[in-house]
Amino acid sequence: MSGDPSSEPELPESSDDERQTLLVQVTGEDRPGISAGLLGVLDDVDATIEDMEQVVIRGRLTLGALVSIPPGRDAVKELLLFGWEQQLHVEFEVVERSASMIEPAHVVTVVGATVSASELRLVVDAIADGGGNIDRIVRLSRYPVVSYEFVVKGGEFTKIRSSLLLAASQVAIDVAVQPEGLGRRAKRLVVLDVDSTLVQNEVIDLLAAEAGVVDRVSAITEQAMQGELDFEQSLRHRVQLLAGLSTDAVDSAWQKLEYTPGARTFMRTLKRLGFTTAIVSGGFTAFTDRIRDELGIDYSHANVLEIADGKLTGNLVGPVVDRSQKARILHMVAQSENIPLEQTVAIGDGANDLDMLELAGLGIAFNAKPVVQAAADTTLSVPYLDAILFLLGITREEVEASERTT
């Protein structure tokens, strides 16, 4: 329907006490005052707004409103007159109220170094195969990765998720599927593994390099992270190989530590947005305490190396932070902060992280081992830690805005 007010849509007859539900779509060149003008017209005709969305792409406006209006053609005439005066294209569609309007929704987040049209087509085909209907698409970021968010209504969640994971496995993109709702938008605590997650290194390998036993330690580390060895036994065995290493060598190893790209932005943004943050590590407090202080992290838990006369004894002090202990720490921090578990996020890469990933409201496998990818709620395989923000529905623009306001 064009903006010509002399052209009216043919609407079905209705009784005096019957309101019609219309989908109103307005398109045209964007400029200030359009939304206010439309709302003014709707207010004048006593319309009830049931839903409303607006998007602007390169200066072109698309504004949609689902409204319930009193019977008669006056409302339609007023809207068409508004479109004609504003040089906008206005269309109407009479819609029936149905259960689809209140169906539970899911959010599908697509992340990749680049995301092509063919890759997006795989995503939308997978959603359709599961019976889902795309309600909204929003671009979250252009860099350091490209990401889009799809709000999907209807369909079978399990089938949609499996179809999407199959599609993602065929191309170089990551796909996450989460229920839409307050629980997703109300995440308040983020708990991270450290080695190969927050930092690129395995800290014990850095210490082993200083001690000259890197090959022996690395082999044991890899077996433990794949879940092939008991973590505590393997850790104690590796620490014994470090006996006699000086604290100066520990300091030297610290200087070689490399944060994962985007780690500082990720932690800084979480802090500015009011998240509580914690790190839990199968590594050592000699490193995690420094990371905590450097990045402004709220909580830090790791293993304690025993030191005597300025050298490592090859023993640990206190309980080992293993797979089950990581989950207990997540629960403890959530309790101390009065945060429900469904509002927590856990991020890790190894078998040692599986329990906390399962316990958290959202478990994210970040560049993880296959056993972890298979168990986690969602996976992310791009090299940038701050890309996790997009899985939380935080846009790149919001990240940059938080940087400007500090």
Q: Of these residues, 17, 74, 129, 193, which one is catalytic?
A: 193
Alpha carbons 3 and 21: distance in angstroms, whole number:
20
Q: State the pLDDT at residue 1.
A: 42
- Run of H or E residues at 27: strand 20-29
1 near 26, Cβ under 8 Å? no
Buried b (16+ CB within 10 A) or exposed e, 65-102: bbbebbeeeebbebbbbbbbebebebebeeeeeeeeee
| Amino acid at site 178 | Q
Q: Which three-class secondary structure state does DSSP give residue 32?
A: coil
Q: What are the strands of the beta sheet with 276-284, ordered from one edge?
A: 311-317, 299-308, 276-284, 189-192, 344-348, 362-366, 378-380
Residue with tokens 């040692």: 352
Q: Split the chain (406 residues) into runs of 10 and give each run's mean pLDDT.
A: 50 55 89 89 87 82 85 73 90 69 80 94 94 91 94 89 88 89 79 97 95 92 76 92 97 98 96 95 97 98 98 97 97 96 95 95 94 90 95 90 73
Known catalytic residue: 195?
yes
Tally Cβ neighbours within 10 Å of residue 16. 7
Angle formed by the axes of helices 214-225 and 231-240, nearest 10°: 170
The encoded tokens of residue 381 equal 């395989």
274 near 402, Cβ under 8 Å? no
Q: Write out the DSSP string of 155-181.
A: S-HHHHHHHHHHHHHHTT-EEEEEE-S
Known catalytic residue: 193?
yes
Q: Of these residues, 43, 51, 74, 195, which one is catalytic?
A: 195
Q: Which three-class secondary structure state does DSSP give residue 221?
A: helix
- Run of H or E residues at 278: strand 276-284
Q: State the pLDDT at residue 16.
A: 41
CA neighbours within 13 Å on the CB side: how many for 185? 6
Alpha carbons 65 and 53: distance in angstroms, whole number:
7
194 near 287, Cβ under 8 Å? yes
Domains of the chain: 20-97 (3.30.70.260), 104-180 (3.30.70.260), 190-404 (3.40.50.1000)
Q: State the pLDDT at residue 405.
A: 67
| Amino acid at site 283 | G
Answer yes or no: pTM beyond 0.95: no
